[in-house]
Structure 1
């Protein structure tokens, strides 16, 4: 009996709901790396993989891995993946949708006892969001051999190091180098993910082809002036650190609006040290998040905003410290795989819409060593990292059809 794509979408949705019920808090979905809720989610996903007939394991960093092996001698591995960790008070779909859609694809292969000319490995990455240890792509960096051992000493808010968290949840720090899939063994990579933006929602289209993932620069700026009594220091004699930071916030917004066709710029965090209503702020820290799919433009934008910040500081007689926190270069999706995915979209009766992802994904570290492609799925009003995150069943069914058609085209191409 043939099961329809809509019925398969309902089964995927039921699993998404079951995984979302595992959370650190009762009000939303929070499943940070290494927490008891994360470990419980690991076990649930691994159980589903095992029941589907996959060869399963947990690797040293806590990635859940399920393999459908090819009988073809010398076969390489095609990876289907996304992540199962979340931000705090997250939605249900960011990450798990890609993992559980991939599981459905492999269940269908197993049900048909399909023979492919390549291995397929489904990976539920352990930490993409980086919430607990202020890291990103931990799971995919281990798989691609890009994990930095210096991160093991990084501590969370409770003082627990990454190494301790890995050990506590049953992982193995010494095993991490052996968990990498060598570059020569990769055939390619597909990640299915909600768009996290409003384009598909506004155009009423179910899926899109990702052409690139924007690079990021994250910076912390510290503004230092002179704290003073709010009632006694004349306005013309102040060195107000908060006023300088506030001017920079508006400068950043104006810059982002001016060049919005090629980048986005955001100040999302402001920390007024020793804040009080009757004290002129003497020290303020703020964040800057810059993103662009053009590496040259990303670098020049950062340099220009740094210069504008320094101009503000000099005019206001403030000291300014500019600290680069994170730099991730843009990642282009593989042209050949994208051509195949575009064909799968058309063959499934959908319009091919090319999009650049402004959000980071595990496809970024993978693209450094292997061909990678991504499929976006429409989400409610483009909302993400929020309990309002939602995907409609017909859109999920369309994504299943496209992804399955892509695998079949890939198999025919490599047969």
Structure 2
């Protein structure tokens, strides 16, 4: 019997199998374009093809499976998430949505369903932005918003994005043709772990995402003067790392003062020519700012930049401030959210509205299509961590909700 429990168990088995494919043995690491990423994508592709779906890989490396409607004028409803990861990730961030979407399409194939619209399941190739420090590469290609200047960006090994795409088998000249015209979109739906503790603490399996916070990513470089650690007097140093240390604490303090509306994080640090007996002469770090309020996000950016410039002046350091990425906050579609809330209620669960502090591919998609998201309860809200976990009972509840939701979309 094909119950929600048996379907959940099969999805979980696939998630566990995909998680065995990693760049290293600790946690799960499948960054864009790496051999591990390609192997993971190939596994998911085999599952899609075995389901009887029309499958292709586009030029940015997105894996796209299509359930075709007999309606010649049909639009496309997209189910999607991503299969790339951060370094030392968990098993569920991204793959949960892709493999749950695959289960939904398998049910439609088995039922020989005749839908008034196409359904395209997309496993986006790069949502996390680890390798090239810019998120949503995959979804921006699908929406037609890809920035061609990014093709010249280099990773830590000096490999350009254009070369990485070519190595993966893609064609940079075809990126624009992989976009889906805005007129062809019926809607977008993404299932994702919550990445926060609300559902865990309340023991509720799912939540409706009402909005997604905007974010600004900055690369900050302090330049001083490298020197011998044993010979340069303390009061005569231009220590770039000391400047970064003050910057990190300033970011933390700002985030704590404005904790109701802003989160601020320094998550990466690179000391050039680092040695224990050398005063650091150049240090680069990251800054990640997020808020659901665009005005507060902009004011936080300006305030922290001013504080950073003051630190550099006071310490006689050079400063390079480079805005890597800006994404505005978005609001999810009210009509689709109402259908999702109705599906949750009909499934016997409380409707919990949540704002996502994390970014998702729904952000660029919202520029061309109405979009909605469903959060799934995860262990203590932990994500981007090997401890990330989803219980099968919550996955079974999610399947019940999604089944009802898709049925309502069909008749909407």
Normalised TM-score (structure 1): 0.93
The corresponding residue for 1:171 is: 170
Cα deviation for residue 214 of structure 1 reads: 1.2
The corresponding residue for 1:137 is: 136
Secondary structure, aligned partner of 1:16? helix
Secondary structure, aligned partner of 1:257? helix
- Alpha-carbon spacing, 1:285–1:166, altered in 2? closer, same or farther (3 Å): closer
Secondary structure, aligned partner of 1:291? strand
Cα deviation, 1:207-231, whole Å, max 9, x if unaligned, reads: 1111111111112222334455555
Cα deviation, 1:1-20, whole Å, max 9, x if unaligned, reads: 5x221111001101111211
Cα deviation, 1:115-173, whole Å, max 9, x if unaligned, reads: 22211111111221222333321211111111222222333333333333323333233
Does the 8 Å CA contact 2:212/2:355 hold for their aligned counterparts? yes
The corresponding residue for 2:289 is: 290
Q: Distance in 2 between matches of 1:179 and 1:102?
A: 21
List aligned pairs for 1:22-41, cutoff 5 A: 22-41=21-40
Cα deviation, 1:163-204, whole Å, max 9, x if unaligned, reads: 333233332333222211110010000000111222222222
Q: Distance in 2 between matches of 1:347 and 1:70?
A: 27
The corresponding residue for 1:392 is: 391
Cα deviation for residue 64 of structure 1 reads: 1.5
Unaligned runs of 5+ in 1: none
Does the 8 Å CA contact 2:133/2:324 hold for their aligned counterparts? no
Cα root mean square deviation, aligned: 2.0
Larger mean Cα displacement after TM superposition, 168-177 or 139-148? 168-177
Q: Distance in 1 between matches of 2:269 and 2:404?
A: 47
Report how many residues are paired. 412
Q: Distance in 2 between matches of 1:179 and 1:242?
A: 44
Q: Distance in 1 between matches of 2:162 and 2:204?
A: 43
Cα deviation for residue 51 of structure 1 reads: 2.0
Cα deviation for residue 396 of structure 1 reads: 0.8
Does the 8 Å CA contact 2:134/2:325 hold for their aligned counterparts? no
Q: Distance in 2 between matches of 1:106 and 1:407?
A: 11
The corresponding residue for 2:401 is: 402
Q: Distance in 2 between matches of 1:29 and 1:17?
A: 11
Q: Distance in 2 between matches of 1:106 and 1:156?
A: 36
List aligned pairs for 1:90-101, cutoff 5 A: 90-101=89-100
Does the 8 Å CA contact 2:134/2:324 hold for their aligned counterparts? no
Q: Distance in 2 between matches of 1:63 and 1:319?
A: 40
Larger mean Cα displacement after TM superposition, 272-281 or 246-255? 272-281
- Alpha-carbon spacing, 1:287–1:109, altered in 2? closer, same or farther (3 Å): same
List aligned pairs for 1:190-209, cutoff 5 A: 190-209=189-208
Secondary structure, aligned partner of 1:286? strand
Cα deviation for residue 239 of structure 1 reads: 4.1
Q: Distance in 1 between matches of 2:276 and 2:31?
A: 35
Q: Distance in 2 between matches of 1:275 and 1:35?
A: 27
Q: Distance in 2 between matches of 1:232 and 1:171?
A: 53
Q: Distance in 2 between matches of 1:153 and 1:322?
A: 19
Cα deviation for residue 248 of structure 1 reads: 2.1
Cα deviation for residue 309 of structure 1 reads: 2.0
The corresponding residue for 2:106 is: 107
Q: Distance in 2 between matches of 1:276 and 1:40?
A: 37
- Alpha-carbon spacing, 1:199–1:73, altered in 2? closer, same or farther (3 Å): same
Q: Distance in 2 between matches of 1:227 and 1:190?
A: 51
Secondary structure, aligned partner of 1:25? coil
Does the 8 Å CA contact 2:222/2:282 hold for their aligned counterparts? yes
Secondary structure, aligned partner of 1:128? coil
The corresponding residue for 2:214 is: 215
- Alpha-carbon spacing, 1:331–1:10, altered in 2? closer, same or farther (3 Å): same
Q: Distance in 2 between matches of 1:56 and 1:303?
A: 45
